[in-house]
């Protein structure tokens, strides 16, 4: 893992939570992005190189809606920046981690992403993300 890239936080109401985190962090969100395939709308803050990704559900079927129902608002995942996401996924699998995704998928913020199952990561849902710009450079 190269570094902690962002911290994902599940929220019920994106406007209210943007206002709350603006007060808390002392900075405004710099973008919103919807990821239709995941049923989420995201809002990003960046504090000294670490991003905060607020995640709100866009439908009842969204994994975020299910998370909120089970656990309520709060910490959802930690995301680590990696190079060569496929290779990293297979290496982690070899050493015993359970992958939720067998192939990287498109995430917010121009990334390819994959999640590790929290049952294998001490209860912390863990995301691998790789910048698409880097992935497609030769």
Q: Which is closer to Zn ion, CB of 94 or CB of 132?
A: 132
Closest CB to Zn ion among residues 61, 113: 113
Q: CB 84 → Zn ion: shortest distance, Å?
A: 19
Looking only at residues 110 through 129 of this chain, which bind Zn ion when binding is defined by CB under 5 A? Answer: 127
- Pick the closer one to Zn ion by CB: 41 or 79: 79
The binder of Zn ion chosen from 9, 41, 68, 79 (CB under 5 A): 79
Q: According to the 3-state scheme, what is the secondary structure of the chain?
A: CCEEEEEEEECCCHHHHHHHHHHHHCCCCCEEEEEHHHCEEEEEEEECCEEEEEEEECCCCCHHHHHHHHHCCEEEEEEEECCCHHHHHHHHHHCCCCECCCCCEECCCCEEEEEECHHHCCCCCEEEEEEHHHHCCC
Question: Rounded to the nearest whole angstrom, what is the least distance from the CB of residue 41 to Zn ion in the complex?
Answer: 13
Applying the rule CB under 5 A, the residues between 7 and 66 that interact with Zn ion are: 8, 53
Size of the site for Zn ion (CB under 5 A): 4
Q: Which residues bind Zn ion (CB under 5 A)?
A: 8, 53, 79, 127
């Amino acid at each position: 893992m190269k570094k902690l890239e962002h911290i994902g936080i599940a929220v019920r109401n994106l406007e209210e939570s943007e206002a709350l985190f603006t007060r808390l962090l002392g900075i405004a969100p710099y973008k919103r992005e919807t990821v239709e395939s995941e049923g989420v709308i995201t809002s990003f803050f960046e504090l000294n190189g670490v991003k905060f990704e607020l995640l709100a559900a866009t439908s009842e079927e969204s994994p975020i809606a299910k998370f909120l129902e089970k656990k309520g608002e709060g910490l959802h995942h930690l995301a680590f920046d990696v190079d060569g996401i496929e290779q990293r996924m297979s290496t982690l699998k070899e050493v015993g981690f359970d992958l939720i995704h067998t192939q990287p998928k498109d995430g917010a913020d121009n990334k390819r992403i994959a999640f590790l199952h929290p049952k294998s990561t001490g209860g912390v849902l863990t995301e691998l993300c790789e910048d698409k710009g880097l992935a497609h450079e030769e």
